[in-house]
Amino acid sequence: MKIELLWWEGCPSHPEALEELERILEEEGARADVELVEIETDEQARAERFAGSPTLRIDGEDPLPAGEGEPYSLTCRIYRLRDGRVSATPDPDDLREAVRRAL
Amino acid sequence: MTLAIGDTAPSHELPDTDGRRHSLHEDGATTVVVFTCNHCPYALAWHERLADVAGDYDVRFLHVNPNDAERYPGDSYEAMQKRVAEERWTVPYLRDEDQEAARAFGAKTTPDVFVLDGEGRLRYRGAPDADHRDPSQRAAWLREALDALGAGEDIARPETEPVGCSVKWK
């Protein structure tokens, strides 16, 4: 499994997302190469379909697609936890499901 | 420039979403100034907790959006007006179009919380609490600061690291 974590320096959430991802990979016994990809310009954001930091891609696909109409730009990504609260990082259970789907 | 604890804050006047102008500090009144915005998950996650603080304390409470609306249209004045109407805000939401207030305060993130005493001096600056994902924190650091200020005591934790999305400078 190849995982890319796309991040932007204007948003402080990617270390927390990476930590949760690595914890879940370990708990699931999943072998994965995690590559950190820094997004630095709006042009790069559009080219990479970057809906905000952090954005994950597992085997080339965003497992938690952003809502329609979300602009691709240098911004922090808005996630919804399963109880509806706003978060700067994905719900760990959503992340775990995404990893399991890719196993 | 960044305000340090004890510094007197600049007295900018900014328009709210109804066009009324508000001074960022007022003699004799404790004022909480929160630099915030519409599109940041940290600002959104902390918003309800801050609204609760505004309701629980007899202080002036001002939200200020300084973000560049050209690159981030979700933070335009019109988008601010729409949000205030839809969410029935009870505190003024001010537009810092030229970003001078944010620069003068040294705001770094959304949110970034500043508490001014009745003389306009900075008494607390930083995050509302320790974790944007944990509502049980109830903006505890801000509450501690307001409690101490109200009791005429020193604020035990006058400064914390603001956490959130970077201010979107022009």
Lowest mean pLDDT among A20-24, A59-63, B81-85: A59-63
Closest residue to B165, CB basis, from A76, A85, A86: A76
pLDDT at A69 exceeding the cut of 70: no
pLDDT for res A71: 78
Residue listed under structure tokens 């007899």 = B58
**Is B145 in the A-facing interface, judged by CB distances under 8 Å?**
no
Per the CB < 8 A criterion, the answer to whether B115 and B159 are in contact is no
| Architecture per CATH, A2-102 | 3-Layer(aba) Sandwich (3.40)
Cα distance from A5 to chain B (closest Cα, Å)? 18
- pLDDT confidence of residue A67: 67
Nearest to A10 among B45, B133, B166 (CB): B166
Span B121-142, pLDDT tens digits:
999 999 999 999 999 999 999 9
How confident is the model at residue B4, as a pLDDT?
A: 96
- Mean pLDDT over A78-87 rounds to 93
Burial class (CB within 10 angstroms; exposed 0-12, middle 13-18, buried 19+) of A80: middle
Q: Which of A38, A10, A40, A6 lies closest to A21, judged by CA? A: A6
Residue extents of the structural domains in chain A: 2-102
Structure confidence at residue B83 (pLDDT):
97
Asked if B83 has any chain A CB less than 8 Å from its own CB, the reply is: no
Across B140-156, average pLDDT:
97
Whole-number pLDDT of residue B69? 95
Task: Return the residue of A nearest to B44 by Cα.
Answer: A86
User: What's this model's pTM, rounded to 2 decimal places?
Assistant: 0.94
Check if B68 contacts A (Cβ < 8 Å): no
Would you list the domain boundaries of chain B?
Answer: 13-166
- Over 70: is that where the pLDDT of A68 sits? no
pLDDT of B146 above 90: yes
Q: Mean pLDDT across the stretch B154-168?
A: 97
Average the pLDDT over A50-57 and give the result. Answer: 95
Q: Closest by alpha carbon to B42, among B122, B169, B161, B170?
A: B161
**B41-56 vs B140-151: helix axis angle to the nearest 10?**
30
Question: In this predicted model, which residue has the larger pLDDT, B101 or B88?
Answer: B101
Look at A88 and B39 and tell me if their CB atoms are within 8 Å. Answer: no
Q: What is the mean pLDDT of chain B?
A: 96
pLDDT class of A61 with cuts at 50, 70, 90:
very high
What is the helix, strand, coil percentage profile of chain A, to 5? 30, 20, 50
* Average pLDDT of the residues in A2-18: 96
pLDDT at B51: 97
Average pLDDT over residues A24-51: 95
ipTM, two decimals: 0.89
pLDDT recorded at residue B11:
86
pLDDT at B77: 98
Which single residue is written with the structure tokens 């109804």? B18
CATH code linked to domain B13-166: 3.40.30.10
